[in-house]
Amino acid sequence: MSTDEPSSTAEKHGHEHHEVEGPGYPTPAAMRTESEREKTAFVIALRVGMDVDGSDFIGVVDLDPESDTYSELVDTVEMPNKGDELHHFGWNSCSSSCHTEGLMRDHLIVPGQRSSRIHILDAEDPRNMEIEKVIEPEEIFEYDLSAPHTVHCVPGGKVVISMLGDANGELPGGFLQLDQSDFSIDGHWEADRGDMEMNYDYWYQPRHNVMISTEWAAPKTYYPGFDLDDVEEGKYGDSIHIWDWENKEHQQTLNFGEEGQIPLEIRMPHDPEETQGYVGAALSSNILRFWEESDGVWEWEKVIDVESREHPDWDMPVPGLVTDIVLSLDDQYLFFSNWLHGDMRMYDVSDFGNPRLVDRIWTGGNFADRQEIQGTEIRGAPQMLQLSRDGKRIYWTTSLFSSWDNQFYPEIGEKGSLMMKADVYPDEGRMELDEDFLVDFGDAPGGPARAHEIRWPGGDCTSDVWQ
């Protein structure tokens, strides 16, 4: 199922021989093999829940090993307000726009999870970004939505953002659509929400007219921190939702029950022909596979189970807490983080229904042997992941969410979190921690910060969807 070989179907869809030139790459294989090595990373950094009296910011990290400032935070773009809790972000246009003339991948859409404020940054010059526009929360609340999360550019000149709550931070959530040209609000994306109430991440495969969304909880449930009683009271999600992409209507719910409590990040193969994918169930600490049957009905199964572990300081077995997953651009390897255990795993998924563990790295967490690097205490554990386009380097940050950080790794709230890296050897199926690379956001200008999601200028493994 490698995406490295151009398919006849891809040519049929005009993604091998189009006449106009837009941003991105015609195929995942082209991005993987033709793009340059990443030289800059945009990293979300926030100060919510810390003693630092400052705003959240987008950090610019130097990833060019030939540079004198390699593995340093070389610039920051401060947000105009405090308390946003920047979380996930995305682009104004993506690789599905490669056949659309006149577009540029030059603006980042950066929402605040806690403020519901959306920032539009001009990122044409990756090392000299500027805030171009701010959509204030009151404008969002008019559509009875709040807590923006996943940002995807979509065909038709639009940007769609999953929203986790209503204007009061309660359920249901929904999807907000922006116009790509001026970032004005169109309104709700969905025409019929069906029985979807909780929301979190989503992925879409336009060739198969499908979008699939996951669940966290109402903002008012998860904002204060994690409470197991909330799980027992059914306040956290355990399902994913299948949508008709074209008609924007809810079609089916896959309920996982205890096997899939808190299904967060979702990834479908980069091959746009695929009608299957994975979702990481954080609390259950399982990787679940879902797929479409020939009759159009979607099914699921558990393919990876991370067993909970006993710890002398915990009065219950500690779950791994799978908080992020990423697929390589050739769809051969799946990586995911176990934030409470402290490891980041690499699976060969050449046989998608039978993932094979090939390697893991232990850093930080509650069980890892390695608790420092370059003499710096590892605060937190592998959390948000980003893989290089060629699949040879994987980077991660160690902060999850401000109130959850303060609950499970309080040192992050005091000293900030870290960004780390491992070299990946796809041909050998192994990883090696790069102990020469460390970005300590405890030393950020203006005081410590929590580093979270990572993006590359030019596209990456977690934000690009091909038509």
The one-letter code for the residue type at 275 is T
What number of CA atoms fall less than 13 Å from residue 74's CA on the CB side?
A: 19
Predicted local distance difference test score (pLDDT) of residue 97: 61
Sketch out the chain's domains with CATH numbers. 28-455 (2.130.10.10)
**How confident is the model over 414-439, as pLDDT tens digits?**
999 999 999 999 999 999 999 999 99
Predicted local distance difference test score (pLDDT) of residue 438: 98
pLDDT-derived band of residue 98, with 50, 70 and 90 as boundaries? Answer: low
Tell me how far apart the alpha carbons of residues 297 and 308 are, in angstroms, rounded to a whole number. 32
User: What tokens were used for 108?
Assistant: 């980042």
50: pLDDT strictly greater than 90: yes
For residue 315, report the phi and psi dihedrals to the nearest 5 degrees.
Answer: -95, 10
pLDDT-derived band of residue 12, with 50, 70 and 90 as boundaries? Answer: very low
5: pLDDT strictly greater than 50: no
As a whole number, mean pLDDT of residues 147-156 equals 94
As a whole number, mean pLDDT of residues 281-293 equals 98
DSSP letter (8 states) at residue 112: B
Cα first-last separation, the chain? 17
As a whole number, mean pLDDT of residues 396-401 equals 98
pLDDT-derived band of residue 255, with 50, 70 and 90 as boundaries? Answer: very high
As a whole number, mean pLDDT of residues 176-191 equals 97
Predicted local distance difference test score (pLDDT) of residue 466: 87
Predicted local distance difference test score (pLDDT) of residue 3: 40
CA angle (117 as vertex; 114, 123 as ends), nearest 5 = 115
Beta bridge partners of 187: 177
Predicted local distance difference test score (pLDDT) of residue 404: 98
10: pLDDT strictly greater than 90: no
Predicted local distance difference test score (pLDDT) of residue 101: 67
Predicted local distance difference test score (pLDDT) of residue 21: 63
13: pLDDT strictly greater than 70: no
Tokens 């577009």 — which residue? 103
Higher-confidence residue of 154 and 168: namely 168
16: pLDDT strictly greater than 60: no
**How confident is the model over 298-351, as pLDDT tens digits?**
999 999 999 999 999 999 999 999 999 999 999 999 999 999 999 999 999 999
As a whole number, mean pLDDT of residues 244-271 equals 97
Predicted local distance difference test score (pLDDT) of residue 7: 39
Average pLDDT value over all residues in the chain = 93
**How confident is the model over 353-395, as pLDDT tens digits?**
999 999 999 999 999 999 999 999 999 999 999 999 999 999 9
- Count of helix runs (H) and strand runs (E) in the chain: 7, 31
19: pLDDT strictly greater than 70: no
The pTM (predicted TM-score) of the whole model is 0.95
pLDDT-derived band of residue 95, with 50, 70 and 90 as boundaries? Answer: low
Tell me how far apart the alpha carbons of residues 223 and 401 are, in angstroms, rounded to a whole number. 9
Predicted local distance difference test score (pLDDT) of residue 26: 84
CA angle (282 as vertex; 154, 424 as ends), nearest 5 = 75
318: region left, alpha or beta (phi > 0 left; psi from -120 to 50 alpha)? beta
1: pLDDT strictly greater than 50: no
Tell me how far apart the alpha carbons of residues 323 and 226 are, in angstroms, rounded to a whole number. 14
pLDDT-derived band of residue 96, with 50, 70 and 90 as boundaries? Answer: low
Predicted local distance difference test score (pLDDT) of residue 362: 98
Tell me how far apart the alpha carbons of residues 21 and 17 are, in angstroms, rounded to a whole number. 10
